[in-house]
Amino acid sequence: DSGVTQTPKHLITATGQRVTLRCSPRSGDLSVYWYQQSLDQGLQFLIQYYNGEERAKGNILERFSAQQFPDLHSELNLSSLELGDSALYFCASSARGEGANVLTFGAGSRLTVL
Amino acid sequence: AQSVTQPDIHITVSEGASLELRCNYSYGATPYLFWYVQSPGQGLQLLLKYFSGDTLVQGIKGFEAEFKRSQSSFNLRKPSVHWSDAAEYFCAVVLYSGGYQKVTFGTGTKLQVIP
């Protein structure tokens, strides 16, 4: 157990729908990162939050949004889902100071869009 | 642009044989370098990291990696592979840009271990 908790583990939905993925970072970690892993795109950075504020943005589609709440958990919202959004979505967290460079990953949420 | 290249998509080794997974990066300065491992159905786990100092770093599970500035490489090695090492391995580069860290992962190398 890495200490990063992601729910749900598996999710099956239809095209056009909206889903929310949830992440609780390791205790004490202020940064949360979201990654998408698919067979054709590999591991793609989506977005990073630090203590509630957006810190960096990667290849995140406009149909996707995220936020980090005061209790530091984060949610990734995926809307108007397409078949190509089927992927593993990972959350990672990192600490402050020297630990800020090291990412601790959750087990992922596997999204299947039918 | 910052990039990480793992030239080998898939590698097969026999149990007990030695292993070397290649990683090359493209950046003007020395970045922070990492190797992560992903077992089937799992998230990524940190194997080892290099920030500065001794260019040969030791990690968990008997892995080591050597940073070679002249070759812009950070190859992962293990002297004797175990069946449980079958997994996907990712090299990653962390750079600071605009005051914030940016993490870039390579495309991964899938390791198959045969008896």
Please tell me the predicted confidence (pLDDT) of residue B90.
97
Which chain A residues touch B108 with a CB distance below 8 Å?
A: 42-43
Interface of A with B in 55-74 (CB under 8 A): 55-56
Nearest to B71 by CA among B12, B9, B11, B5: B5
A22 CB neighbour count, 10 Å cutoff = 14
**Average pLDDT of the residues in B55-71:** 95
| CB nearest to A56's CB, from B34, B46, B100 | B100
Query: Are A43 and B45 in contact (CB < 8 Å)?
Result: no
The Cα–Cα gap between A68 and A53 comes to 7
pLDDT at A110 over 90: yes
- How far, CA to CA in Å, does A79 sit from each of A14, A104, B89? 11, 26, 31
**Average pLDDT of the residues in B78-94:** 95
pLDDT at B23 over 70: yes
Please tell me the predicted confidence (pLDDT) of residue B98.
63
Strand ranges, E, within chain B: 3-5, 10-14, 19-21, 24-26, 32-38, 44-50, 56-58, 64-68, 73-78, 87-97, 100-105, 109-114
Higher-scoring residue by pLDDT: A2, B37: B37
Interface of B with A in 37-56 (CB under 8 A): 41-46, 49, 51
Please tell me the predicted confidence (pLDDT) of residue B26.
87
Please tell me the predicted confidence (pLDDT) of residue B73.
95
The Cα–Cα gap between A58 and B103 comes to 10
H or E stretch covering A35:
strand A31-38
Name the band, by pLDDT with cuts 50, 70 and 90, for residue B1.
low
- A59-101 per-position pLDDT tens digit: 899 999 999 999 999 999 999 999 999 999 999 999 876 667 7
pLDDT at B83 over 70: yes
List the single residue in B with minimal CA-CA distance to A47: B102
Q: Which tokens belong to B63?
A: 């892995």
Q: Does B100 touch chain A (CB under 8 A)?
A: yes
Higher-scoring residue by pLDDT: B81, A39: B81
Q: Does B96 touch chain A (CB under 8 A)?
A: no
List the single residue in A with minimal CA-CA distance to B9: A42
Name the band, by pLDDT with cuts 50, 70 and 90, for residue B99.
low
Please tell me the predicted confidence (pLDDT) of residue B11.
97
| Alpha carbon A114 to its chain's center | 21
Query: Are B41 and A2 in contact (CB < 8 Å)?
Result: no
> B89-106 as b/e, with b when 16 or more CB fall inside 10 Å?
bbbbbbbeeeeebbbbbb
Q: Which tokens belong to A76?
A: 């990734």
**Average pLDDT of the residues in B45-62:** 93
Q: Does A45 touch chain B (CB under 8 A)?
A: yes
Please tell me the predicted confidence (pLDDT) of residue A98.
63
